[in-house]
Structure 1
Amino acid sequence: MDFSNNILGTIGNTPLVKLNKVVDGIDALVLAKVETFNPGNSVKDRMAVKMVEDAEADGRLKPGGTIIEGTSGNTGMGLALVAIIKGYKLICVISDKQSKEKMDILRAVGAKVVVCPTNVEPTDPRSYYSVSKRLAEETPNSWYVNQYDNLSNSLAHYEQTGPEIWKQTDGKITHFVVGVGTGGTISGVGKYLKEKNPNIKIWGIDTYGSVFKKYHETGIFDENEIYSYITEGIGEDILPKNVDFSLIDGFTKVTDKDAAVYTRKLALEEAIFVGNSAGACIKGLLQLKEHFKTDDVVVVLFHDSGSRYVGKMFNDDWMRERGFLDENVTKAEDVIKDHIDKELIVVRTEELVSHAIERMRKYKISQIPVVDINGFVGSVDETDLFRSYVADKNVAEKPIKEVMGKPFPIVKLGTSIEEVSKLFTKENDAVLIDLGNGNHHIITKYDIIGAIK
């Protein structure tokens, strides 16, 4: 009989899969190391077991203890498997940008999940780094994993992932490409492969809002490069000890949109349902294609499963809200198609300014057309009202006609986006589109910006 004593015995030996359509234009053989085949559906299972076993060996983690970790979700899942099998409690501290699926999965396997804000400094007491450390200090018989600086992370990949890739490619690998977060995968695999063949190139995939690429190229930790981004699992606003920059030949940065789009392409064109960082890796590969020759063997590692992003990259509404869907937007009506059926909010000339202000608050809008019995005769926006209020504190009880500006321009259905855009000026913040049958809709600068791809 061939079986594992528990689920931890199934970690590793994940397959290499040749990529085809999605890497069209790259001459080299491109192989994906698909880590979703691990029981926790991610590469993080490997280092979770290694970090726990090393902590047990040197006494940092004691029987019945509580494991505490800040995680983007995947390390938490790996730790949850180990905690269940070995009898530990687990607290996962996760940032609020991570998918709901990741949080739900962690709770499903018994972890306590603490959610922290994303858009704060690492040293902020609310950050998931700080909260993890504080919980470890406050919780009796606990161990703070700290995957970023815990070198058992990269050692796991040096001992397991690197040798697997070398064996599976029969030593013919020429390039290894992977997203960089904690740095354990790229450093552990990179160290092993370069020991086998120093000519193998190691490329890291970074994201905009992260410090890795510039630091690698200049040695400068530029805090101006740090800002919130959507892509999960790669990039950092710190320099983890697991990132060994001496092993990395270079980085390329991938936008949030490209990472999301190529994640979907992998599912649709290769039938490989993997996560957000995999899409970033594919776009990064295409950006690096001039580095690859016909006889090269390029291995790219896919970290996790697409099931953790069903509510994000694989959801059309989520993609559309962020302008990530490449939809054909050429006409005026295209930019408002998601809300074209909403009633146009107007105010009449004899109504009071207070009525316009009330409508702006209620409907969360900044511009309102002004009408009388003949049609559109003016407009008001929050800037006009603010200036009027500064000049006269009693303006709220005055009729709209005394403070209104010029009416918004009106365009017909089918008017091009280019023509509509020309109508926006410093003095004019909106355009009306005539839908026919006496119906109109408003187009704002926000609508135009939302259509920009």
Structure 2
Amino acid sequence: MSPSSPSRSGARGPSPLDDLAEAVGGTPLVRLRRLFPDLDGDSPRLELYAKLEQLNPGGSTKDRPALAMLEDALASGRLAPGGTVVESSSGNLGMALARACAAHGVRFLCVVDSRINAPTAATIRALGGELEQVTQPDPETGDLLTARVKRVQQLLEEIPGAVNLHQYGNPANPAAHRDGTMREIAEALDHRVDALYAAVSTTGTIGGCAAYVRDHDMTTRLVAVDAEGSVLFGGTAGTRRLPGMGAGFVTDLSRQVQPDEVVRVDELACTAGARLLARREGILAGASTGGIVAALARTLPSLPDGSRVAMIVHDGGSPYLSTVYDDEWVGQQLGADADALDRARQDLLAASRGAEAPGGAA
């Protein structure tokens, strides 16, 4: 800290918490000024804010619904103390449930597929969770997520008293975002949020945000960022190599929400967006947040001057260091070398200015 910087040493720290669960939520909302050219200068065209959900105890926005669904199951008696939870996850919910189940003395069995990265799998195991990996897509649909869900049903029949929290249809999932995520964003911005960008998988996040917007008569435009290859909101099924965004079947929760706009992004755009956010704002985020950055770049020129926009940073980027942030993996899996990645980043910057050709370096 420089001599001219204000000292914070005299400030009183937060009061101690009785339980780690109390640390879920209340994540910072940070203004982004360097991500795109229009955000900087004496008279920026609009305001962009990022909700840093990676600062939840489990490192993602999934801490909110994981805790809400688990506590609801225990309070209702559907899950007995010391019982077993079996859930499908591409990663973040698995880590969040592993932590929550450990704190509540509940056994957790997480059904994953081959796309799970090594750090995520190791984290679930370290927290006491057990992994059941699906190695082949569902033969009828060719979808790994569908295969995971079917394996969950098999395990529920094999394990006495086991419970599935059904993240894809459990109302406690969107309720956690209605009462937490969107409420916090709205209150921080005096309930003036012109647009909100959120990635979708179960659609619990955007569904809960939509409920808050509706209940408080807000005019917020809700933009769902979905993966190419996802069937949500009328999408076409296809291969998805990055976890955490999109779905291979129409979830129950997605039938209850209709975003104002759906922007579909491919895996290279997600990778370029994540890297752009890291290099311009110092925020290391996961692939789905990279998709949001890409969607923002494409739609920024259409937003009215003076707009106040919020985006959700769904998780941190550390679990993606060996994939999205690794040039060798990107080259092998996405077929993009360093030059292609640089062009993709510059394309996003050009798109954010409404330009056809790539602009300045990232």
Cα 1:123–1:36, aligned 2, differ >3 Å: closer, same or farther? closer
Match in the other structure for 1:239: 250
Cα 1:294–1:245, aligned 2, differ >3 Å: closer, same or farther? farther
Contact 2:327–2:338, Cα closer than 8 Å, also in 1: no
Q: Any idea what SS the aligned residue of 2:294 has?
A: helix
Cα 1:213–1:239, aligned 2, differ >3 Å: closer, same or farther? closer
Note the residue ranges of structure 1 that are not aligned, 5 or more in a row: 216-224, 330-453
Cα 1:198–1:54, aligned 2, differ >3 Å: closer, same or farther? same
Once residues 328 and 151 of structure 1 are traced to their aligned partners in structure 2, the CA distance between those partners, rounded to angstroms, is 42
- Of 312, 320, 323 in structure 2, the residue corresponding to residue 309 of structure 1 is 320
Match in the other structure for 2:339: 327
Q: Is 1:228 aligned to residue 239 of structure 2? A: yes
Cα 1:34–1:90, aligned 2, differ >3 Å: closer, same or farther? same
Deviates more, 1:172-181 or 1:126-135: 126-135
Q: Any idea what SS the aligned residue of 2:288 has?
A: helix
Contact 1:68–1:143, Cα closer than 8 Å, also in 2: yes
Once residues 202 and 125 of structure 1 are traced to their aligned partners in structure 2, the CA distance between those partners, rounded to angstroms, is 25
Match in the other structure for 2:74: 56
Report matched runs for 1:400-439 at 5 Å: none
Contact 2:213–2:219, Cα closer than 8 Å, also in 1: no
Q: Any idea what SS the aligned residue of 2:192 has?
A: coil
Deviation digits for residues 290-325 of structure 1, max 9, x if unmatched? 331221111100111101111101112111222233
In angstroms, what is the RMSD of aligned CA positions?
2.1
Once residues 40 and 211 of structure 1 are traced to their aligned partners in structure 2, the CA distance between those partners, rounded to angstroms, is 28
Q: Any idea what SS the aligned residue of 1:144 has?
A: coil
- Of 11, 21, 27 in structure 1, the residue corresponding to residue 34 of structure 2 is 21
Contact 1:211–1:226, Cα closer than 8 Å, also in 2: yes
How many angstroms does 1:17 deviate by?
Answer: 1.2
Q: Is 1:288 aligned to residue 289 of structure 2? A: no
Q: Any idea what SS the aligned residue of 1:127 has?
A: helix
Deviation digits for residues 259-315 of structure 1, max 9, x if unmatched? 011111211111001111010000011111233122111110011110111110111
Q: Is 1:76 aligned to residue 88 of structure 2? A: no
Match in the other structure for 1:444: none
Deviates more, 1:42-51 or 1:144-153: 144-153
Q: Any idea what SS the aligned residue of 1:269 has?
A: helix
Match in the other structure for 1:403: none
Contact 1:47–1:153, Cα closer than 8 Å, also in 2: yes
Q: Is 1:263 aligned to residue 274 of structure 2? A: yes
Q: TM-score, normalised by structure 2?
A: 0.84
Once residues 313 and 152 of structure 1 are traced to their aligned partners in structure 2, the CA distance between those partners, rounded to angstroms, is 31
Higher RCO, 1 or 2 (CA under 8 Å, sep at least 6)? 2
Match in the other structure for 2:355: none
Match in the other structure for 1:102: 120
Report the count of equivalent residues: 320
How many angstroms does 1:228 deviate by?
Answer: 1.4
Q: Any idea what SS the aligned residue of 2:54 has?
A: helix
Contact 1:118–1:228, Cα closer than 8 Å, also in 2: no
Once residues 48 and 225 of structure 2 are traced to their aligned partners in structure 1, the CA distance between those partners, rounded to angstroms, is 16
Q: Is 1:130 aligned to residue 150 of structure 2? A: yes
Match in the other structure for 2:309: 298
- Of 169, 173, 182 in structure 2, the residue corresponding to residue 153 of structure 1 is 173
Once residues 340 and 55 of structure 2 are traced to their aligned partners in structure 1, the CA distance between those partners, rounded to angstroms, is 37
How many angstroms does 1:163 deviate by?
Answer: 0.9
Match in the other structure for 1:410: none
Amino acid at match of 2:331: R
Deviation digits for residues 150-172 of structure 1, max 9, x if unmatched? 11101111111111111111111
Amino acid at match of 1:33: K
Q: Is 1:89 aligned to residue 100 of structure 2? A: no
How many angstroms does 1:128 deviate by?
Answer: 0.5
Contact 1:194–1:200, Cα closer than 8 Å, also in 2: no
**Bigger Rg over Cα:** 1
Note the residue ranges of structure 2 that are not aligned, 5 or more in a row: 1-13, 40-44, 342-362
Match in the other structure for 1:167: 187
Amino acid at match of 1:290: P
How many angstroms does 1:255 deviate by?
Answer: 0.8
- Of 7, 15, 33 in structure 2, the residue corresponding to residue 2 of structure 1 is 15
Once residues 328 and 85 of structure 1 are traced to their aligned partners in structure 2, the CA distance between those partners, rounded to angstroms, is 45
Amino acid at match of 1:185: T
Match in the other structure for 1:183: 203
Q: TM-score, normalised by structure 1?
A: 0.67
Greater fraction of residues in strand = 1
Once residues 205 and 124 of structure 1 are traced to their aligned partners in structure 2, the CA distance between those partners, rounded to angstroms, is 20
Deviation digits for residues 319-351 of structure 1, max 9, x if unmatched? 12222334279xxxxxxxxxxxxxxxxxxxxxx
Q: Is 1:43 aligned to residue 61 of structure 2? A: yes
Q: Any idea what SS the aligned residue of 2:254 has?
A: coil
Report matched runs for 1:210-229 at 5 Å: 210-214=230-234, 225-229=236-240
How many angstroms does 1:240 deviate by?
Answer: 1.1
Once residues 14 and 124 of structure 1 are traced to their aligned partners in structure 2, the CA distance between those partners, rounded to angstroms, is 32
Contact 1:191–1:247, Cα closer than 8 Å, also in 2: no
Once residues 43 and 99 of structure 1 are traced to their aligned partners in structure 2, the CA distance between those partners, rounded to angstroms, is 18
Amino acid at match of 1:68: V
